[in-house]
């Protein structure tokens, strides 16, 4: 007896995928990013079903999300998010690579040993080679130094990024979580080498506004990035899930906080919960969920730094339904002065910036 096996359906992207997404220029470059980008920090490791991961990536692309953000250590285990994304690329996107912006990073711990942390030439170059192998790619569109490293001369890190672009293994390079003065110094150094930094990826949300605060020289990170031609892509606009309706009535058993993943229970103190309940009321008055308003707020116009200060908001998704819900944030990204004042009155720093940008003095050991 023989059995007929039904063929696996071939993925065909939506023909309307570019109709509704907004695309914004990144800094002083010709590259455009979608207003929402998909981050694979969570939900793409080996602890999550591959079929679900595949559905999320397909849905994102169908809605015009062309940018997919990874790092060498995303998982768990480290490296598995890139491996799983590589499988999705091979299965569904072999003919669409030219339509995709794929980024990776190195800087945080990858594995044991002295060559899997920091900003050395050895780590950055070998990490990118490994990332490309895991994803089955010849190049990434953007490669970031994931964090400032006080133990490595800034010149070594920047020159490594320069040489990575020269090698063709990355089209653009950027930095993440650098403070304003260090951002300016890195940008100037890279420009002098003929390899301008494209982009800065900081944490930024209603409850985490360190990028707006003056640094050692009195200039904020947003101002420094704008002055030096870098675009900004904000990660964790939902404050690790705090700016959602998940915690309005307690801590769900399947939540990130309950699992101890980046959102600690100390962040759910009553002071913070009171803030998010007030913010939730403001969102409801706008006809949005709290998550939708929080994403829209990050993408709002900020006249001090240019009309599109943040080129893209980097969001995660544990399901297609969650992704599609958050995409609706783009239906209303305008805020009245009254709404902005109400948000400012309700929200203070929630103590959730666990990636605080390093200052120039910490890197150089200044007194």
Write the pLDDT tens digit of every residue in 135-163: 999 999 999 999 999 999 999 999 999 99
The pTM of the whole model exceeds 0.85: yes
Return the pLDDT at 246.
86
d(CA 166, CA 164): 5
List residues bridging with 221 in a β-sheet.
none
Q: What is the pLDDT of residue 357?
A: 54
**Tell me, what's the pLDDT at 7?**
56
* 23-364: CATH superfamily: NADP-dependent oxidoreductase domain (3.20.20.100)
pLDDT grade for 273, boundaries at 50, 70 and 90: confident
Give the pLDDT confidence of 150-204 residue by residue, as tens digits. Answer: 999 999 999 999 999 999 999 999 999 999 999 999 999 999 999 999 999 999 9
Within 137-261, residue ranges assigned H as helices are 154-167, 180-192, 221-227, 256-259
pLDDT given for residue 3 in this prediction: 46
Q: Is pLDDT at 355 greater than 80 in this prediction?
A: no
Helices 290-298, 270-285: crossing angle, 10 deg rounding:
90
Which pLDDT score, from 0 to 100, does residue 339 have?
97
Residue 252 pLDDT exceeds 70: no
Per-residue pLDDT band for 346 (boundaries 50, 70, 90) equals: very high
Q: What is the pLDDT of residues 287-325, one digit of tens each?
A: 999 999 999 999 998 876 655 689 999 999 999 999 999
Give the mean pLDDT of the chain: 90
CA dist 178 to 66, 138, 182, 200, 297, Å? 25, 28, 6, 8, 22
Q: Which residues contact 100 (CB under 8 A, 6 or more apart)?
A: 61, 66, 67, 68, 93, 141
Residue 5 has pLDDT above 80, yes or no: no
Q: Tell me the average pLDDT across 103-124.
A: 96
| Domains of the chain, residue spans | 23-364
Of 8-12, 89-93, 180-184, 273-277, which gets the smallest average pLDDT? Answer: 8-12
**pLDDT value of residue 172:** 98
pLDDT, residue 261, reads 54
DSSP reduced 3-state for 301: coil
Inform me whether the pLDDT recorded for 6 exceeds 80. Answer: no
DSSP states of 331-366: G-----HHHHHHHHHH----S--TTPPBPHHHHHT-
3-class state of residue 142 by DSSP: strand
């Amino acid at each position: 007896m023989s059995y007929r096996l039904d063929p696996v359906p071939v993925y065909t992207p939506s023909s309307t995928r570019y109709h509704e997404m907004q695309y914004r220029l990144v800094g002083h470059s010709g590259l455009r990013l979608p207003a929402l980008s998909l981050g694979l920090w969570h939900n793409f490791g080996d602890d999550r079903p591959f079929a679900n991961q595949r559905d999320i990536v397909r849905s994102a692309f169908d809605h015009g999300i062309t940018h997919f953000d990874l790092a060498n250590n995303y998982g768990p285990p480290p490296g598995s998010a890139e491996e799983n994304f590589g499988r999705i690329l091979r299965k569904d996107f072999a003919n669409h690579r030219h339509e995709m912006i794929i980024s990776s990073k190195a800087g945080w711990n990858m594995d044991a040993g002295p060559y899997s942390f920091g900003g050395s030439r050895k780590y950055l170059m070998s990490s990118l080679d490994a990332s490309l192998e895991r994803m089955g790619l010849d190049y990434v569109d953007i490669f970031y130094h994931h964090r400032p490293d006080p133990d490595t001369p800034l010149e070594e890190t920047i020159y490594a990024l320069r040489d990575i672009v020269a090698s063709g293994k990355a089209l653009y390079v950027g930095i993440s979580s650098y403070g304003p003065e260090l951002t300016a110094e890195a940008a100037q150094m890279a420009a002098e080498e003929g390899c301008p930094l494209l982009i800065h990826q900081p944490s930024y949300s209603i409850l985490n506004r360190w990028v707006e605060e003056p640094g050692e020289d009195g200039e904020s990170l947003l101002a420094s990035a704008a002055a030096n031609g870098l675009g900004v892509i904000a990660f964790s606009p939902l404050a690790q899930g705090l700016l959602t309706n998940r915690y309005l009535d307690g801590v769900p058993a399947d939540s990130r906080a309950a699992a101890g993943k980046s959102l600690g229970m100390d962040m759910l103190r009553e002071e913070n919960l009171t803030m998010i309940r007030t913010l939730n009321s403001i969102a409801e008055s706008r006809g949005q969920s709290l998550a939708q308003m929080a994403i829209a707020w990050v993408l709002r116009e900020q006249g001090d730094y240019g009309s599109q200060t943040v080129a893209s908001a980097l969001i995660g998704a544990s399901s297609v339904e969650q992704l599609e819900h958050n995409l609706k944030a783009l239906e209303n990204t305008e805020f009245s002065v009254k709404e902005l004042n109400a948000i400012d009155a309700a929200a203070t720093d929630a103590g959730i910036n666990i990636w605080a940008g390093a200052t120039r003095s910490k890197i150089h050991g200044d007194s």
